[in-house]
Amino acid sequence: MTFNKDDENYIYGVVGLNVKKYRKEKKLTQAKLAEKINYSLSFVSGLESKKHQSFSLGALYRISLILGVDMYKFFIDEDNKNLETNNIDNNNFKKYKCNRCDYETEIPYDLVELIKTANKVGNQLNSEPIFKCKHCDGYIVPTNNNL
């Protein structure tokens, strides 16, 4: 499925496809996932369908816990990997570092830009996204030496 990045529903379609992908990898039916997250089957079905289905970040977080998938992975558009995001080469990465344990990682620019776009749809500030550190209770934030 191809989504138009200019459409505000773009991110819902990308997330829906990824939820379906990771649910199938875990060999869960829609009904079983709905039961585990304590939502209706019609919610899960709508989320994974080609039509627009809104959801809360809380619901997405519950799904990520059940599927054992980092939440940011739901926002990666596998079908449209080659789309340009503000003319940034998709092979470039932004450096991030934990504000508590100094864990360092690099996150692809296209993912950072996609999350910024999702935040704009949610009327949040157009700032760099931060991520929860998998090693401690800190947050992974952009470093000053990014490109």
Instruction: State residue 87's pLDDT score.
Output: 35
C-alpha–C-alpha distance, residues 17 and 26, integer Å: 14
Low-confidence ranges of the chain (pLDDT < 50): 1, 82-90, 147
Global pTM? Answer: 0.57
Instruction: State residue 76's pLDDT score.
Output: 85
Amino acid letter, residue 58: G
Instruction: State residue 13's pLDDT score.
Output: 86
| Boundaries of domain holding 28 | 10-75
Is residue 24 included in any domain, yes or no? Answer: yes
Whether residues 56 and 101 fall in one domain:
no
**CATH number for the domain that contains residue 69:** 1.10.260.40
C-alpha–C-alpha distance, residues 143 and 133, integer Å: 14
Answer left, alpha or beta for residue 54, where phi above 0 means left and psi between -120 and 50 means alpha.
beta
Is residue 86 included in any domain, yes or no? Answer: no
Instruction: State residue 80's pLDDT score.
Output: 58
For 18-36, the pLDDT digits (tens) are: 999 999 999 999 999 999 9
Whether residues 67 and 121 fall in one domain:
no
Instruction: State residue 85's pLDDT score.
Output: 37
Q: Distance of CA 97 to CAs 106, 117, 131, Å?
A: 9, 22, 10
Instruction: State residue 124's pLDDT score.
Output: 57
- Dihedrals φ, ψ of 88, to 5°? -100, 135
Residue ending a domain, among 75, 107, 122, is: 75
